[in-house]
Amino acid sequence: MKIKIVYLLVAALLFPLALQAEEGDPIRVETMVLDVPTAQVLDRYQASFLSRAYSNGDFMETVEFGIHPRINLGLTLAAHELVGSSDHVRILKPDFLLKWKLYDGNLYWPAIAIGYDGRRYGYGYDKSRHYTGAKRYLDDRKGAYVSFSREIIIPGLTATAGMNLSDVDLSEFAFFIGAAYRIANPIGLVAEWDNIHNVRDSRVNTAVRFYLHPALALDAAVRRIGRGDESERIIQVRYVTHF
């Protein structure tokens, strides 16, 4: 019920914005599939604002800046049970993001980037993987990663693959793959298989992406597909501008 209310509120707020917005920079590249980082970065002096609402009433805001050619720096802040009527709203610990694009890619080789993603997902799950409002996360941070991206097969279809290490323990080593396809000017599809360490802990996520304005995109997504109570619907809005 909460997520339906969020959908309605976001749609009502963004519809006039999509018709009248005149400022902002076009979204030329996708820096993320959904949770998977691509090898693309924001241009210098660009800024990206990403707002995400979850099924359980959680809300996350991520801000990224192009602080130097090829280098992005970001900060994310989340609130637990902010959406809805809960009396137990909790502001979660901030996390940061850093990405450095090493290589632009060419006809034969993909673009390459390295970075760090400190975001964690699924706050409130217990050790049995049931949502109870527990003080722990279901998905750990991605940590240090390397990402490879390039357009494949047909124009507009971009594939991403990479590996990450969430901790200094090498047993936490994992892989990720994803793809984004812009079907037409207003609509795109994204899908990813994240945290490929073992089948139980891996995650399949997918979304429909609506480009409401050259600088504004709306995602309606499902995370952890096929995982019963762990599956969740999210909605997120990304706005790109300059500073």
Q: What is the CATH number of the domain that holds 131?
A: 2.40.160.40
Residue 233: which domain range?
2-242
**Residue 177 tokens, joined:** 């793959």
- Mark residue 51 as left, alpha or beta (left: phi above 0; alpha: psi -120 to 50; beta: remaining): beta
Residue 73: exposed, middle, or buried by beta-carbon count in 10 A (0-12, 13-18, 19+)?
middle
Q: Which amino acid is at 80?
A: H
Among candidate residues 165, 207, 171, the one with its CA nearest the CA of residue 35: 207
Query: Is the confidence at residue 25, as pLDDT, over 80?
Result: no
- Which tops the pLDDT comparison, 114 or 184? 114
- Which tops the pLDDT comparison, 15 or 165? 165
- What pLDDT band is residue 135 in, cutting at 50, 70 and 90? confident
pTM, entire model: 0.85
Report percent pLDDT > 90 for the chain: 56
Query: Is the confidence at residue 55, as pLDDT, over 90?
Result: no
pLDDT given at position 191 = 97
Mean pLDDT of the chain: 86
Query: Is the confidence at residue 227, as pLDDT, over 90?
Result: no
The total domain count for the chain is 1
